[in-house]
Homo-oligomer: A and B are copies of this chain.
């Protein structure tokens, strides 16, 4: 749980009392591989900090194909920010692709922390903005590159993730078929 606290402290100060208060709001959840953390059609009510495991964000297109948009691994927050902030039902899923241990905050817990801890909103805002900027930076350049370069970039940026993610999901994330990714991998 120290990882989570350290993460927060990057963005603002918290005294021991405040840290304890934050900790008291955490609910620890174990998610089995393939289980959903949040689902399309439902309103996201929780924010998770991943203590262990990998989640992915995915959706289904109009051909029924499953598209993986994003992976999130240890020591990062996972939330359907759109649904969580607007309270509109989500259009995508957040799913465990390995067994996961999550530190979960409910909407109510966060509201209480927001009211009790001066500066908590600021920390949350910074984390939100930073995460979204990173996401844009990660995804945005991909269109301009061919599949091989996208794969190599992924390996470079997330060397530890590559072995832990099934080929099919990685291919979907890269925007190619798993056959193509398999062939690309052979040619390296």
Contacts and interface: CB of A to CB of B under 8 A. Distances in A.
A67 interface: yes
B140 A69 contact: yes
Interface residues of A, number: 27
Contact of A142 (B129, B136, B143): B143
Contact of A128 (B129, B141, B143, B172): B129
A128 B132 CA distance: 10
Contacts of A70: 140
Contacts of A141: 59, 61, 67, 69
6 contacts: A61-B144, A129-B132, A132-B133, A132-B135, A142-B143, A144-B175
